[in-house]
Amino acid sequence: MKPLHHFNIDDLYAHSFDDFIELSYVAFLGRYPDDDGKQFYLQREFKGASRESILYDIYMSKEHKNKFTNFFPFYKIILIQFLMRRFITANVSHKSSQSQIDKEQEEPIIEYASRGNVLPVSITSPSAETVQYKDNVVYLDVKDVINYIEGGNTTVSGIQRVVVNLFLSRRASKNKIIPVMPEYDRNRILVPNEKSLEILFKELLNGNSNSLHLISILSDVYQSRVEIVFKPGDIFFIAGAFWIIDVYDLFISMRKENVKIVLFIHDLIQIVNPEYVSEHANLTFTRSFSDIIQVCDLVITNSLYTANDVKHILLDSFGSTISIATVPLATEVSAPYKSESIRPDVVEICSDQYVLYVGTIEVRKNHVYLVKIWERLLLDGHDVPKLVFAGKWGWQIEELRTYLESRNYLDGRIVVLNNLSDSEISELYRNCIFSTYVSFAEGFGLPIAESLSFGKTCICSKTTSMPEVGGDYCIYIDPYNLDDGYRCFKNVFEDTSIIEKKSELINLYYKPKSWDSFCSEVYDLLKEHVTDKNGPVNFIFRSVKLYYFGYQKVSYDDYLVPSIRMTRCAGWDLPSPAGAVSFSKAANLEIPTDMIGCEITLYILCCSTNDENMTVTVSINDSCSKIILSREIKPYKLSSKTYHDGIIKLLFSLPHSEMETSSGFFVGAVGWCNSGYYHDHSALLYEMISSAMIGKNYNNKAKKLSFSTSIESDENVKDIYDLLSYDGVQFITRSYQFILHRECDDSGKINYLRKINNNINKVFILRELLQSDESIAVNTADNVKHFISQLDRLEQA
């Protein structure tokens, strides 16, 4: 790491996110971040917040204003550069909009200064040229790359490379391709000026611009945006990181308007191999996948391996699948080769003998495996070439960095190169002996294909998609078996003919794939595979199962728990982690089910968000009922019937008198079963009353659930089933009142709370209370027998 007094703002942005947060705190607050602060900004970064916006938050904090002191010599440098950057981007001249935009429709919006302070509202097409096309338009979401640039990145990698090339090669499509920058939280789609965006993406692809230059071009892009309106048959294409999107409600309205949604999935590592990714990242990805997959018309993957992952997960979780196609990625490195732009340290490395590993340095990529092999080869007296890691530092690599520094990078045998342009990557591929790629898991493995396109074989993992990419041109090893890797590298260093034979095979038969070819294949698929879909979402929701509207519970063991959020049609606020909250007089759901033409019983977990009870009218298909919602979440039972399509149409409505004073009502989960099947009722009810939501209140400001602080006797508890609808202290208190006819003392509360915290089942606790000497003394034998038989039936269910 550089000495602090040599730092500038680009150095700050170039660090791993953990280091970026630590250095930002030191620069602006004079201290290191605590765990809460670090976790907060980690969540913001994963959701797509730019590093500039995070730095601005820290700069504007009360703590910074109270500590406006020069803690370190580099503070003034960072501060001046940061404020200059914001000043420059805030004062970029506002581009004139298209002539057909009504100037009177301008709408002031609250945004960062770099985003522009005035935005034209709405036009039916992004330019006069668009209306000349008879075919439907394909809208390409480029917001992922914009966030990537705002994060301080100056070179492309992985997913962003795909999106950038899809835009730059857009003329390979028979349809008109329009780039868009959606504001998902505001339910609108914005189109930037294509020429400005093309300049920005080419600069990013070349990798020779600093962050300040890219941000200044990005300001032009932001200032040029106009809002567009879809028409039926248009295609919305997401090829980037879909999991950075917080809210998917825009896709619900797209589905209604017959706009086709296409998703490019690069891998499902967060679901299939969660051990290599942080828990927070896994939950965010899984929640996003569960939502967006329900409204997609087509999924495109980069490998057959990833396609099989998608198919199996959908079958396991939803019981059916959707259209899935595969287009392998291009193998060329995009930027034109310019020898004069190569960094001196890269030129120096290229004059030596070395093995190349291209990719972000993170735990999943298994760099430590190669370090141990190189160390062992050196200890055994082998003359090994240098090992070059070409990629930025990622996450969970602090131990590796410390290890390399403590051993002086194996006396210079290991070299780490960050922030490389495509020209420099090309130069490294061109001059290496061979490449290596020992990742544990991949969706494709682009560096393997890139290496082959330069005529260089790759020693790579034999796991996941990598053999599919490398074919017969690569040498395969077990990334979990160090001895296997040691033997392989030892053999190729001792017998150079092994590499020479692979190189000859590559030169004779391997055919590199261009990005133009890749983009043409992708765009052809859009027209070929996208067809009309029926129903509000892709999948059928099964009976006798509880479905949640929140996203706190998104996975269970090895399969995905489908959420029912995407069945919200109108009248709902943005989803919270806990569930769905209405914001208008009427809110409705449309749920495709397996209940076709039969009588159903529906259970809903819901509550009022007011301090007082509220009356809600619930219409289910042709049936109508009124329920009184209290502050506490409870299960409500309703009956209706379904028709030939199996769709349950739920309409919640409030009287005008309620709506004027109400902040809405909360719905946490819903489930249903055939009215005539008793055992299905028992199973569904048991799942409902076991839910952690029961007995809690919804805090409208905090957007989360919490228990009420006061406990009062509940005259509505008339049965064991009613007791099970409560949780924690309320469950214990009401159980004592109902079974022992007295208030619970402190020792009883402590005893049973300890059991609940140790995951002791509530049914077990009730059985223990019912069979106690005190219960037998105050209850009749018939009552005790009746209640125990109810518990028996619940356990059997």
Are the C-beta atoms of 438 and 458 separated by less than 8 Å? Answer: no
Residue 711 has pLDDT above 80, yes or no: no
Are the C-beta atoms of 358 and 391 separated by less than 8 Å? Answer: yes
pLDDT of res. 91: 38
Instruction: Report which of residues 359 and 755 the model is more confident about.
Output: 359
pLDDT of res. 575: 78
Helix (H) or strand (E) holding 434: strand 434-437
pLDDT of res. 718: 66
Q: Which of 405-414, 472-481, 526-535 has the lowest mean pLDDT?
A: 526-535
pLDDT of res. 496: 94
**Structure-block tokens of residue 585:** 């007089």
Phi, psi at 659, each rounded to 5°: -65, -30
For 669, half-sphere exposure in the C-beta direction (CA atoms, 13 angstrom radius) is 26
Distance (Å, whole) CA 225 – CA 181: 8
Residue of 133, 138, 115 whose CA lies nearest to 238? 138
Q: How many other β-carbons are positioned within 10 Å of the β-carbon of residue 379? A: 8
Helix (H) or strand (E) holding 324: strand 324-326
pLDDT of res. 90: 38
Across the chain, mean pLDDT equals: 81
pLDDT of res. 136: 76
Helix and strand counts by DSSP (H, E) for the chain: 32, 30
Q: How far is CA 392 from CA 156, 308, 343, 417, 602, in A?
A: 11, 30, 16, 8, 52
Distance (Å, whole) CA 646 – CA 541: 10
Residue 322 has pLDDT above 80, yes or no: yes
pLDDT of res. 165: 94
Instruction: Report which of residues 368 and 690 the model is more confident about.
Output: 368
pLDDT of res. 89: 41
Residues 618-664: pLDDT tens digits? 999 989 999 999 888 888 889 999 988 999 999 999 886 665 666 78
Alpha-helix residue ranges (DSSP H) falling in 574-677: 656-661
Q: Which of 6-10, 12-16, 230-234, 333-337 has the lowest mean pLDDT?
A: 6-10
pLDDT of res. 757: 66
Residue 145 has pLDDT above 90, yes or no: yes
pLDDT of res. 307: 97
Question: What is the SS3 assignment for 187-233?
Answer: CEEEECCHHHHHHHHHHHHHCCCCHHHHHHHHHHHHHCCEEECCCCC
Binning pLDDT at 50, 70 and 90, where does residue 755 land?
Answer: confident
Q: Which of 190-204, 273-287, 399-413, 648-662 has the lowest mean pLDDT?
A: 648-662
Q: Which of 470-479, 516-525, 655-664 has the lowest mean pLDDT?
A: 655-664
Binning pLDDT at 50, 70 and 90, where does residue 135 land?
Answer: low
pLDDT of res. 512: 93
Binning pLDDT at 50, 70 and 90, where does residue 352 land?
Answer: very high
Average pLDDT value for residue range 435-457:
96
Which residues, other chains included, contact 351 with Cβ-Cβ below 8 Å and sequence gap of 6+? Answer: 431
Residues 105-122: pLDDT tens digits? 233 222 222 333 333 333
Q: Which of 145-159, 466-480, 487-501 has the lowest mean pLDDT?
A: 145-159
Binning pLDDT at 50, 70 and 90, where does residue 576 land?
Answer: confident
DSSP summary character for residue 295 = T
Distance (Å, whole) CA 282 – CA 391: 23
- Collapsing DSSP to helix, strand or coil, 140 comes out as strand
Q: How far is CA 54 from CA 24, 59, 65, 374, in A?
A: 9, 9, 16, 39
Average pLDDT value for residue range 141-170:
91
Share of the chain above pLDDT 70, in %: 81
> Long-range contact list for 284-287, CB < 8 A, 24+ apart?
284/46, 284/47, 284/243, 285/243, 286/554, 286/555, 286/560, 287/551, 287/554, 287/563
Q: How many other β-carbons are positioned within 10 Å of the β-carbon of residue 352? A: 11
Q: Which of 328-332, 402-406, 436-440, 714-718 has the lowest mean pLDDT?
A: 714-718
Distance (Å, whole) CA 762 – CA 755: 9
pLDDT of res. 64: 66
pLDDT of res. 334: 62
How is 78-125 classified by DSSP, letter by letter? HHHHHHHHHHHHHTSPPPP--TTS-GGG-EE----GGG-SEE---BSS
Residue of 636, 655, 633, 635 whose CA lies nearest to 699? 633
